[in-house]
Amino acid sequence: MAKHIPWTPDDDKYLANNWDQKLVRDLETDLGRTKGSILRRARALGLAKKSEWSFEDEEFIRHLLPEYGVEYCARHLKRSMESVRVKAKRMGIRIVSKYHNDYTQEEDALLRVISKLPSLTFAQAAHILGRSPEGMRKRAKSLGMPTKADYLTASDLLREKSSLGILTSGELELLETLS
């Protein structure tokens, strides 16, 4: 069981000042605490997220979620990504990531490399491949690969893409700069 870390007045102040501006997962990172700890403290401090969905909130989701995605809507509405996903599902809106398309053999090969070399996160690799980190983790899991690749150097990934012949001109320039 994890050790309880008392909340300091500075922690409380940071939480209060950022509660409406940041997602809980960002607060987790900033404060070095779990989601449950942050939510319990927010309730204790009287910081409550909206629970009712206004007509404007629903219209925002209906019209903007398909194009801009869950994270954008969550940030704009100052709600969790999960609450936006649940609301969209209840509204009958299918959530499709802008990155949702089939993975190529080359991308699958890169995922295999990423799962073995510990120096690049899924988020960094996703940025290079133009995919979402969550989508890459799901794909890795579906291929039976480990889903936690902590580190892979950017230059290693660019070299691997180069060997597969799938570098963009910008990535090629970056690789030449790194070499």
Quickly list DSSP for the chain: -PPP-PPPHHHHHHHHHHTTTS-HHHHHHHHT--HHHHHHHHHHTT-----SPPHHHHHHHHHHHHHHHHHHHHHHHT--HHHHHHHHHHTTPPP--TT-SPPPHHHHHHHHHHHHSTTS-HHHHHHHHTS-HHHHHHHHHHTT--S------HHHHHHHHHHHT---HHHHHHHHHH-
Predicted local distance difference test score (pLDDT) of residue 136:
77
- How high is the pLDDT of residue 146? 64
Burial of 45 (0-12, 13-18, 19+ CB in 10 A): middle
Residue 69, pLDDT score: 80
pLDDT of residue 14: 92
**CA-CA distance, 77 to 179, in Å (whole number)?**
44
The domain ranges of the chain are 9-43, 55-90, 105-178
Query: Please, what are the averages of pLDDT over each run of 10 residues along the chain (179 residues)?
Result: 80 87 85 87 77 87 83 84 87 70 78 69 73 77 65 60 70 66
The predicted structure's pLDDT at residue 107: 79
Q: What is the pLDDT of residue 170?
A: 72
Three-point CA angle 99, 103, 104, nearest 5°: 130
What pLDDT does 149 receive?
A: 43
pTM score, whole prediction:
0.35
Amino acid at 126: A
